[in-house]
Amino acid sequence: MKEAFLHYLWQFRKFEGATSTGLPLSDEQRSIQVIHPGSYNELAGPDFFNAQIRIGDQLWAGNVEVHLKSSDWYLHRHERDQAYSNVILHVVWEDDCEVFDAANLPIPTLVLSDKVSPQMLQSYKALLEAKSYRFINCEQNFAEVDTGLFEHWIERLYFDRLERKVSHVLGKLESVTGDWEAVLFMTLARNFGTVINADAFEELAQIIPFSIVRKLGQQPGQLEAALLGQAQMLADDPIEQQPKLWKKDYLYIKHKFELSEGIRYPMQFFKLRPPNFPGIRISQLAQLYEQHQDLFSKCMAAQTRSELQKLLKVSTSTYWETHYTFGKPHKPRIKKLSDAFIDVLIINSIIPLKFAYAQAKGLDVQEQLLDLMRSIPLEKNSVVSTFEKLKTFERDALHSQALLQLKREYCDLNQCLKCEIGNYLISN
């Protein structure tokens, strides 16, 4: 038994008599009516603030403290803490001693151990206390979850995940003094780097002011030379002709714009498939900004997946059609961004920018973004694939993003009591 379970029982009134007037307290036989359980407090102080409880004929307003045992009040030294002076009810699982307030009067104590149904207690133990290696705690019963509740929770999870991405966007926006174009460039760069080189690509985008990126994008080949140079990927004395030209251009650009010495850490190739090699992705990123001088406004104007797919569909420069790495040519092959990769850019870069920009302009684009997410196919990864084995759901990116949020923020942290699915399974 964990104290969090008692928080759940109290907050959602999952005990017998919670809303009636016939619930006895342990210290004396008076009735109780829970008008409002209070606001859950995750910081220091009592567990619930501003509760309203009728005890006998008296209506009380104050705080509620929850413990496994009454004696935990003294174990936690609450009798010495003024923050607990307005506790009007002590909710416990086991009442093993009497607790007194500063005026030496007993604090009413509510014991829950005999007011919780055996079925709910069994469901709780099966969900959180079983000792086994599982993908998620509720995998045996995941398919039983009501579809309406599941879809409601999925939508909320998606927006929780989106809000986290939006907060990162707003942090970047502040760092570049409100330049939305610069934020888009940094966000896209991070995603072009994929998981392995995300930090390196983001640093690369940050050390070249976007005003310079904009200027270089107007001259074919210049932005690619600058990005490759700042990424520390151009050798001191290249053998092939194109890398030689890039090196020459980079040294001129570096001197002209007084650029830094480049990123701190080298680009990684280990565990990457060749299409994700940094030279390929840098070239595609550069080509994107060569082809679209007003990329931000075009991304904000595009409303459908097909529009964004068409906008972002770029290939590498000619050199990379015969190379994955410097000095090792292969047969010519056009290397365009795949539909799946562009979907990743839409999900992780474009949509968070759209949402943040709309908020800044006071616009409501929630339904538009939901429709856009539902038009993108389900992402393929081990987490989503395992969820697919547990329950049937819509195969779109809204669900895959929400399920990633569910796994990371709830399942992996055993936060079943804060999860609507967990609450459903415990209560049913």
How many beta carbons lie within 10 A of that of residue 145, not counting itself? 20
| Rounded Cα gap, residues 374 and 394, in angstroms | 9
Within a domain: 342: no
**What are the C-alpha distances in Å from 104 to residues 79, 91, 98, 101, 226?**
10, 19, 11, 5, 75
Domain identity same for 99 and 190: no
> For position 29, what pLDDT does the model report?
52
Within a domain: 79: yes
Query: Containing domain of residue 9, as a range?
Result: 3-116
> For position 369, what pLDDT does the model report?
96
> Cβ distance 15 to 9 under 8 Å?
yes
CA angle 56, 58, 61 (to 5 degrees): 120
Residue after which a domain boundary falls, among 116, 137, 161: 116
How many beta carbons lie within 10 A of that of residue 207, not counting itself? 15
Domain identity same for 107 and 186: no
Q: Of all helices (H) and strands (E), which one includes residue 85? A: none
> For position 307, what pLDDT does the model report?
98
| Rounded Cα gap, residues 398 and 226, in angstroms | 37
Residue after which a domain boundary falls, among 302, 337, 372: 337
> Which residue pairs, CB below 8 angstroms and at least 24 apart, start in 247-255?
249/221, 249/222, 249/225, 250/225, 250/226, 253/216, 253/222, 253/225, 253/226, 253/229, 254/226, 254/229, 254/230
> For position 20, what pLDDT does the model report?
38
Rounded to two decimals, what is the model's pTM?
0.83
Question: pLDDT tens per residue, the chain (428 residues)?
Answer: 889 999 999 998 888 765 433 344 444 456 778 899 999 998 899 999 999 998 888 899 999 999 999 999 999 999 889 999 999 999 999 999 999 987 888 898 899 998 898 889 988 888 887 666 689 999 989 999 999 999 999 999 999 999 999 999 999 999 999 999 999 999 999 999 999 999 999 999 999 999 999 999 999 999 999 999 999 999 999 999 999 999 999 999 999 999 999 999 889 999 999 999 999 999 999 999 999 999 999 999 999 999 999 999 999 999 999 999 999 999 999 999 999 999 999 999 999 999 999 999 999 999 999 999 999 999 999 999 999 999 999 999 999 999 999 999 999 998 999 999 999 999 88
Domain identity same for 188 and 319: yes
Domain identity same for 99 and 197: no
Domain identity same for 300 and 228: yes
> For position 105, what pLDDT does the model report?
85
Domain identity same for 43 and 182: no
- The contacts of residue 162 (CB under 8 Å, 6+ apart) are 351, 352, 355, 369, 401
> For position 134, what pLDDT does the model report?
82
Domain identity same for 293 and 184: yes
Within a domain: 394: no
Residue after which a domain boundary falls, among 47, 82, 116: 116
Within a domain: 45: yes
Domain identity same for 184 and 305: yes
Domain identity same for 100 and 182: no
> Cβ distance 91 to 112 under 8 Å?
yes
State the amino acid at position 203 in one-letter form: E
How many beta carbons lie within 10 A of that of residue 114, not counting itself? 9
- End-to-end alpha carbon distance in the chain: 19
Domain identity same for 198 and 333: yes
> For position 24, what pLDDT does the model report?
46
Q: How many domains does the chain have?
A: 2
Using DSSP's 3-state secondary structure scheme, residue 323 falls into: strand
Within a domain: 380: no
Helices (H) and strands (E) in the chain, counts: 18, 6
Within a domain: 186: yes
> For position 427, what pLDDT does the model report?
87
